[in-house]
């Protein structure tokens, strides 16, 4: 019944997206979406920076261990204690 009522209106083409009142987004809607995206980005950035610091720390520890193992192998090859 609602479709029949709307279909009798001038400018209605059977789809609500084609109605004359839905030409696009208003500025307030766009600003709200941008604000939401900004907030989510800020939350994600803090988490990503923490992960980067963790990876740097683990990489440094791994590098120290590899250098220690390399020094041990070289001292054994040279016969040095």
User: How many other CB atoms are found less than 10 A from the CB of residue 12?
Assistant: 15
pTM: 0.41
CA distances from 57 to 24, 41, 71 (A): 49, 24, 21
Please say if the pLDDT value at position 32 is more than 90: yes
pLDDT digits (tens, 9 = 90+) for 52-76: 888 899 999 989 888 888 888 888 8
19 in Cβ contact with 12 (< 8 Å): yes
pLDDT band (50, 70, 90) for residue 16: low
Most confident of 1-5, 7-11, 77-81: 77-81
DSSP SS3 for 67: helix
């Amino acid at each position: 019944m609602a479709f029949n009522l709307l279909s009798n209106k001038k400018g209605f083409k059977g789809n609500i997206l084609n109605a004359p009142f839905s030409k696009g987004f208003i500025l307030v809607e766009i600003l709200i979406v941008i604000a939401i995206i900004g907030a989510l980005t800020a939350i994600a950035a803090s988490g990503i920076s923490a992960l980067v610091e963790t990876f740097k720390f683990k990489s440094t520890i791994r590098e120290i261990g590899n250098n220690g193992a390399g020094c041990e192998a070289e001292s054994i090859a040279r016969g040095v204690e």
